[in-house]
A = this chain, B = another copy of it.
């Protein structure tokens, strides 16, 4: 069976070591990971199977992580991870959406690996760690000490390796191609759903050199009145002669995602709207210029916010979030945020989406930039000009 790993084994080993070091520091014997992105990061595992119970275990005293999932997905674990067969464990289909708890199965593996009295870290706020999952584990492992280790791996993921940055650049190229496709395609009379079709086509077709894959969320394609809302969807309606199209697009390469937003105006933008564009772009550029190792997230935010304030504007939401590996429902690593009060210090290899979109009472505008922190500043992960596009 051909194995399809996108990183050297040594890179996976470094990741696992970093996690074990943090576990040791916190007195955690075993980490139970439910987040698909964390499983992918530590083992390479990649399949759309996480909607059924699935976990990766990292034990201080066990060399490799252990993957636990559904029987029919065992072969995906063999294909996409470096794990030895003994570290791929699968439960029968009788555990799937039935009265049996797959977490009882997980508990048996836990006992085998670390015994009944270990200190176990779990991702309390993970999308795929439900209240029931936790309750079932607590019941099956009454002598275990549970420790909230939410985001333990996410914080380690925050700084990307050169090999990861290379994939982020490819994801950025796909996002650029998607945006260019939108700019070319959009005109009065096209159906909104056909714009979505073009966007998705480009997301997967990628470039002639490499293809893309599904993103962590659908493209945000908000037209007209919906441009006032950031997370609305498209309709079947045809574009009128004059409207606003707000796009947030996601290029994805081997699960690494780069976000990119632009506004496309159909017809002639109002002069006040163009003024708003100038303000946002000035703020965005000020924010990007503030990025360098040693600065904090809140300092970057301040550079943006100060510029906006000069013109009487304010963005209520945080200015950005880290990007990297992601699975639905969202790419966000849930660690640092570019906002007031966040004192995370920037380091080379960190990647963020500077989400400078502005949703005001009567206007919505989205011009953003994803970037990687470099030794001396930042590198844009997308290259399409930061401006308003008019069709």
Candidates B1, B72, B97, B125; contact of A225 at CB < 8 Å: B1
Question: What band does the interface of chain A fall in when counting residues whose beta carbon is under 8 Å from B?
Answer: 35 or more
Contact A72 B204 (CB under 8 A): no
Candidates B47, B197, B198, B200; contact of A233 at CB < 8 Å: B47
Contact A200 B204 (CB under 8 A): yes
CB distance from A37 to the nearest CB of B (A): 13
Inter-chain CA distance A124–B131, complex, in Å, is 5
Q: How many copies does the complex hold?
A: 2
Q: Which segment, of A55-63, A111-119, A303-311, A327-335, faces chain B? A: A327-335
Q: Name the B residues within 8 Å of A193 (CB-CB).
A: 204-206, 211-213
Candidates B218, B229, B316; contact of A92 at CB < 8 Å: B316
**Complex: chain B residue closest to A138, CB-CB:** B131
Q: Name the B residues within 8 Å of A214 (CB-CB).
A: 218, 233
Contact A79 B225 (CB under 8 A): yes
Q: Name the B residues within 8 Å of A49 (CB-CB).
A: 231
Inter-chain CA distance A316–B91, complex, in Å, is 12
Q: Name the B residues within 8 Å of A192 (CB-CB).
A: 211
Contact (A317, B72) CB under 8 Å given A218-B214, A225-B1: yes
Q: Name the B residues within 8 Å of A124 (CB-CB).
A: 130-132, 135
Contact (A130, B132) CB under 8 Å given A200-B203, A204-B193: no
Contact (A213, B229) CB under 8 Å given A96-B318, A201-B200: no
Contact B79 A226 (CB under 8 A): yes
Contact A191 B218 (CB under 8 A): no
Contact (A51, B197) CB under 8 Å given A4-B235, A97-B321, A318-B93: no
Q: Name the B residues within 8 Å of A337 (CB-CB).
A: 97-98
Contact A48 B218 (CB under 8 A): yes
**Complex: chain B residue closest to A200, CB-CB:** B200
- Jot down 15 A-B pairs with beta carbons below 8 A, ordered by A: A47-B233, A51-B332, A72-B229, A72-B317, A75-B359, A76-B232, A93-B317, A96-B317, A125-B132, A125-B133, A193-B213, A194-B204, A199-B204, A200-B204, A204-B234
Q: Which of A's residues lie within 8 Å of B, judged by CB?
A: 1-2, 4, 46-51, 71-73, 75-76, 79-80, 92-93, 96-98, 122, 124-135, 148, 150, 191-194, 196-206, 210-214, 217-218, 220, 225-226, 228-236, 316-318, 321, 327-330, 332, 334, 337, 359
Sorted from nearest, which 5 A-B pairs have the closest CB atoms?
A: A193-B211, A131-B134, A200-B200, A51-B330, A125-B132
